[in-house]
Amino acid sequence: MSQNNSSSGHGRGYLTGILPIGMGFLVWAITFGIIPTDASGIHAPRWVLAIFGGVFVVAGIWSILQSALRQHAAGVNWINFLFALLVLMAISVICLWIGFGPGPRLFVNTDSLTGMRTSLTTDPVLGRIFFGFFGVLLTVVTIAFAVIEGRKLL
């Protein structure tokens, strides 16, 4: 009754990759006007949205490659390093733009604890400080990761 689950494991890995790729393409379709949206509802430049969608696409491709390669191919460590570095850099850029980029920011706090959804506008300075701090922190982590893991691979 024991079955070989290696093929079903590959299928789950591929599905795990296809879903974020689809979400990333959806963001890209909105970003590049393929799916029409109200421009007043988008509060970020197109390049930030493109990076945001790209994070999902890259993560999905990375997941599919992990399932396909299964740690047997030479260079898997380099592939993992490059994909991880790319995702860390993209998230850093998004956080840094939110924290330090030009223009006003609107941060909304949604409370659904009471069963009634209420949205409260929070302090934009506090939101910028939060995202700016984590953007700088993630940039430091990204640089440390690049140096430490890059040296290990060399």
DSSP the chain: -----HHHHHHHHHHHHHHHHHHHHHHHHHHTTSS---GGG--S-HHHHHHHHHHHHHHHHHHHHHHHHTT-STTHHHHHHHHHHHHHHHHHHHHHHHHHSSS----EEEE-TTSS-EEEEPPHHHHHHHHHHHHHHHHHHHHHHHHHHHHHH-
Provide the residue ranges of all domains of the chain, joining segments of one domain with +.
7-73, 75-154
Given a contact cutoff of 8 angstroms between Cβ atoms, the answer to whether 124 and 104 are in contact is yes
**pLDDT, position 67:** 78
The total number of residues shown for the chain amounts to: 154
Residue 3 has what pLDDT?
Answer: 46
User: Along the 154 residues of the chain, how does pLDDT read in single tens digits?
Assistant: 444 444 555 566 688 889 999 999 999 999 999 999 888 878 889 999 999 999 999 999 988 888 777 666 667 888 889 999 999 999 999 999 999 999 888 777 666 666 555 666 678 888 899 999 999 999 999 999 999 999 988 8
